[in-house]
Amino acid sequence: MAVKTVIEAIRDGMDEEMARDPGVFLIGEDVGNRGGVFLASDGLFKKYGELRVIDSPLAESCIVGVAIGAAVNGMRPIAEIQFADFIAPAMNQIIEEAARFSYRTAGDFNLPMVIRAPWGGGVHGALYHSQSIEATFAHIPGLKVVAPGTPADAKGLLKAAIRDPDPVLYLEHKRTYRLVKGDVPNGDHVVPIGKADVKREGKDLSLIAYGLMLTYCLEVAEKLAGDGISAEVLDLRTIKPIDRAAIIATARKTGKVLVVHEDTPFAGVAAEVMAIIMENAFDALDAPVMRFTGPDVPAMPFNHVLEEAFMPSPEKILAKARELAAQ
């Protein structure tokens, strides 16, 4: 075990997979000599050279489209989108192309590729450096979407994503990069895609979250314990394919569920989680399922008052959890 930050865990994950498999390479804006704008690939350019750590032109469709082609021809590309907010120019390549290669060829082609995208707010990033994109992509069959919240999961899920035979959108929350530290197991630590994780056991209510909101929910659970409320915290880790069994299990166990994300609510991940609970654990519920999310506005403003008003915080989540506990 070693204590690492999320960004270190991501770097270690890429480094180990590149060392393990000569087909793995990284392509993206500023990933080379600069080591990435967040230093996710710091040192990899020197170690693996310009054919395996490729500074792309400033063109996101190019990054993803080239990664698709390389995956067709036997490679395992990691395509880095510098900020999730800038993924829109690559939507055609991701949705119409990458997500459909297997389906549209009845399995003749498959694309072992990862698209890494730093996401989320609370970093004074304003409208275009703060967005949550998970619901948009989780809606697309053919894609897998993961959103780890701890260093161990960040490394383990990245390694799983790189080894996966299908395209995986790997979302790394910017605010967690250096904020969240934790033990990362030594050796070849791989976390399977599609498995949620109970990060804290409890019996009175369940908090379901991922990414930065996991950290906030763990804080909330600690505070609830002070109130004498035992909160379970389920970390989804993977958005698609979602771990239905784990969601149903925690709902049945506590009978009260609060789903938390900073993405906007409409047709969001919380809505899907709530539908799963309603379809499968309605009889076990002691209260209506609740959600706490960012507001339905286009994106997160720059001004700190507005940003704080947008972002879910431990305090706001705690208030909502107390409301649920009182029901």
Partner 1 sequence: MALKTTEVEAKGGQSRHRSLGLSDEQALRIYEVMRLARAVDERMWLINRQGRAPFVISCQGQEGAQVGTAAALRTGYDWVAPYYRDAGVILWFGMTARDQMLSFFARREDPNSGGRQMPGHFGSRRLHIVTGGSPVATQLLHAAGVALASKQRKEDAVTAAYFGEGAASQGDTHEAMNFAGIHKLALVFVCENNGYAISVPQSHQMAIQNVADRAAGYGFPGVVVDGNDVLACYEVARQAVERARRGEGPTLIEVKTYRFTAHSSDDDDKRYRPAEEVAIWRQKDPIQRYATYLREAGILRDPVEAAITGRVDQQVDEATEYAEQAPDPTPDDLTTFVYKQELKP
Crossing angle of helices 151-163/6-20, nearest 10°? Answer: 30
Q: How far is the CB of 76 from partner 1 (least distance, A)?
A: 10
Element (H, E) at 319: helix 314-325
In sequence order, the β-bridge partners of residue 115 are: 79, 169
Nearer to partner 1, 7 or 53 (CB): 53
Catalytic machinery residues: 129
Amino acid at 193: I
Assigned token pair, 267: 């047709």
Nearer to partner 1, 40 or 70 (CB): 70
Amino acid at 88: A
Give residues with Cβ within 8 angstroms of 20, minimum separation 6: none
Q: Cα(172)–Cα(198) distance, rounded to whole angstroms?
A: 20
Q: Using CB under 8 A as the criterion, which residues of the chain lie in contact with partner 1 when the complex forms?
A: 25, 51-52, 56-57, 59, 61-62, 64-75, 77, 89, 92-93, 96-97, 100-110, 141-142, 144, 164-166, 194, 241, 244
Nearer to partner 1, 64 or 324 (CB): 64
Q: How far is the CB of 73 from partner 1 (least distance, A)?
A: 4
Q: How far is the CB of 127 from partner 1 (least distance, A)?
A: 23
| 228 alpha-carbon distance from chain centroid | 31
Q: Cα(183)–Cα(158) distance, rounded to whole angstroms?
A: 16
Helices (DSSP H) in 82-173: which residue ranges?
91, 101-104, 134-138, 151-163
Nearer to partner 1, 54 or 212 (CB): 54
Q: How far is the CB of 55 from partner 1 (least distance, A)?
A: 10
Q: Cα(212)–Cα(195) distance, rounded to whole angstroms?
A: 18
Nearer to partner 1, 77 or 314 (CB): 77
Q: How far is the CB of 63 from partner 1 (least distance, A)?
A: 9
